[in-house]
A = this chain, B = another copy of it.
Amino acid sequence: MDKPLHIALLGAGTVGSAVAEILLNQADTLTRKAGVPLRLKMVAVRDMAKPRPFLAGHPVRLTDRPQEALEDPDIDIVVELMGGYQPAFDIIRGALEQGKSVVTANKEVLAKEGFALRQLAASRGLDLFYEASAGGGIPIIRPLRECLVGNRIDQVMGIINGTTNYMLTRMSQHGEEYEKALADAQEKGYAEADPTSDVEGHDAAYKLAILASLAFEAPVPVDAIYREGITKVTADDIRYGRELGYTLKLLAIAKNVNGEIEARVHPTFIPHRHPLASVSDAFNAIFIHGEPVGELMFYGRGAGGGPTASAVIADLVAVARRRITGSAGEPPVPSEFPVIKEMGKTVSRFYVSLKVIDRPGVLAAIADCFGKQNVSIESMIQKGREQDPVDLVFVTHEVVEANMQAALEAIRQLNVVHEIANVIRVEGDA
């Protein structure tokens, strides 16, 4: 048996302490799987005073200086679970520069610096594994890296933010409005006091940058991702959509259309029968289409200590095994930035909800605005007859985004239209 590999664990929150517990309590299994003992040598924490019962009786050094992991030449593998951009990025880069392998769950660093870090790791024959950075416990990064070579992947669509999926499920199943669903999610611990990162789609955009970069083998910058949150979604939208055959999800979508990449995060209606439509509560799922594999979906818990620790431990064992067999390092990482399609040139179907005066000729005026921009209507329903205004809801066929925006601008000018209540994209085969 080889001499043990020494591990530094940076961060001991929910995930970090779950990782430490598995490392310490399932040492035999992990040793057998890795082919070498994995010794947890140090744990970096923010608060040295806080009790860490899971470390009791184990010879593990506790520190509040994560940099110690870089200074200690014994450390073979750095497990970075601190989160946030800095100092995590400097520490990951520093670890690789010192010949250490890295396992991380850091979506922000991977989304912003993933390609540079992967190139650094590849150039030094080191591993940088990050299964937990997107999809939590769901094996998706490694399947994308290893199990789909020989495929041309043209689509990734994911429910990759559990908080918003929980909220949309509440709104859908209980008819709750946004504010109530948010309060529920906060009460359950799914949403933070400041929910911006989740509800505005930042979290999903980071994860999409990671997934799209792997799927298309090209660095998709997080800044290039169009992003729209769920704050304007109403219970009415969800109800009207359902009548028309659609379920509302916050989707992270990336497509490779003839070599041009589009990447966007926004509320999306998908047909009830689409595999993503039945993914409810805080679950995540990533749907992939490639040739020749066809459709794939990976489903599971996208957050939480246990599921995330599961992904971190698997990475750690793989990295350890590759380190001792001398097979670390991935093939050269493509670095050419892809052509990103402008949002105005993307093609979608649309759900459009208008508040209009209920009077003859109104539909004709609206239809004229759509028609002039080549927007063709797939279905229409009117709600609240005898009220003023009434809701008029359209679902369009596929149309270029810029044309749709022009049609909406014209509709907004009509006297008979009180308000464009909502515009939501529609994906998936009808």
Seen from chain A, the residues whose Cβ lies within 8 Å of a Cβ on chain B are 18, 22, 26, 29-30, 32-35, 131, 137-139, 142-143, 146-151, 273, 275, 277-280, 283, 285, 290-301, 304-307, 309-311, 313-314, 317-318, 321-322, 325-327, 331-332
Cβ–Cβ contact B22 & A318, under 8 A? no
Cβ–Cβ contact A151 & B310, under 8 A? yes
Complex CA–CA separation, A30 to B152 (angstroms): 12
Cβ–Cβ contact A143 & B146, under 8 A? no
Complex CA–CA separation, A317 to B148 (angstroms): 10
Cβ–Cβ contact B322 & A327, under 8 A? yes
Cβ–Cβ contact B301 & A294, under 8 A? yes
Complex CA–CA separation, A422 to B148 (angstroms): 42
CB-defined contacts of A142 to chain B, threshold 8 Å: 142-143, 146-147
Give the Cβ gap from A148 to chain B, nearest Cβ, in Å. 6
Complex CA–CA separation, A422 to B300 (angstroms): 34
The quantity of this chain's copies bound in the complex is 2
CB-defined contacts of A306 to chain B, threshold 8 Å: 291-294
From B292, B298, B301, B305, give the contact of A298 (CB < 8 A).
B298
CB-defined contacts of A278 to chain B, threshold 8 Å: 273, 275, 277-278
Complex CA–CA separation, A147 to B310 (angstroms): 8
Complex CA–CA separation, A277 to B279 (angstroms): 12
Q: List 26 A-B contacts (CB under 8 A).
A: A29-B149, A30-B149, A32-B331, A33-B149, A33-B331, A137-B296, A139-B148, A142-B142, A146-B317, A149-B314, A150-B309, A150-B310, A150-B313, A150-B314, A275-B278, A285-B297, A291-B306, A292-B310, A293-B306, A294-B307, A295-B299, A297-B300, A321-B327, A322-B327, A326-B326, A326-B327
Complex CA–CA separation, A159 to B277 (angstroms): 19
Cβ–Cβ contact A318 & B150, under 8 A? no
Query: Which residue of chain B lies nearest to A288 when distances are taken between CB atoms in the complex?
Result: B300
Known: A292-B305, A310-B293. A317 touches B18 (CB 8 A): no
Cβ–Cβ contact B146 & A318, under 8 A? yes
Complex CA–CA separation, A326 to B324 (angstroms): 11
Closest 9 CB pairs of A and B: A292-B306, A150-B313, A327-B327, A325-B327, A139-B147, A293-B310, A297-B299, A296-B300, A137-B293
Cβ–Cβ contact B22 & A138, under 8 A? no
Give the Cβ gap from A59 to chain B, nearest Cβ, in Å. 21
Cβ–Cβ contact A150 & B275, under 8 A? no
Complex CA–CA separation, A208 to B327 (angstroms): 32
CB-defined contacts of A291 to chain B, threshold 8 Å: 306
Cβ–Cβ contact A292 & B22, under 8 A? yes
Complex CA–CA separation, A34 to B149 (angstroms): 10
Known: A310-B150, A325-B327. A275 touches B293 (CB 8 A): no
Complex CA–CA separation, A322 to B318 (angstroms): 13
Query: Which residue of chain B lies nearest to A141 when distances are taken between CB atoms in the complex?
Result: B147
Complex CA–CA separation, A294 to B136 (angstroms): 11
CB-defined contacts of A131 to chain B, threshold 8 Å: 147
Give the Cβ gap from A143 to chain B, nearest Cβ, in Å. 4
Which one of A143, A149, A310, A326 has the greatest number of beta carbons of chain B within 10 Å?
A: A149
Cβ–Cβ contact A294 & B137, under 8 A? yes
Cβ–Cβ contact B327 & A309, under 8 A? no
Cβ–Cβ contact B18 & A310, under 8 A? no
CB-defined contacts of A277 to chain B, threshold 8 Å: 278
Query: Which residue of chain B lies nearest to A309 when distances are taken between CB atoms in the complex?
Result: B292
Query: Which residue of chain B lies nearest to A274 when distances are taken between CB atoms in the complex?
Result: B278
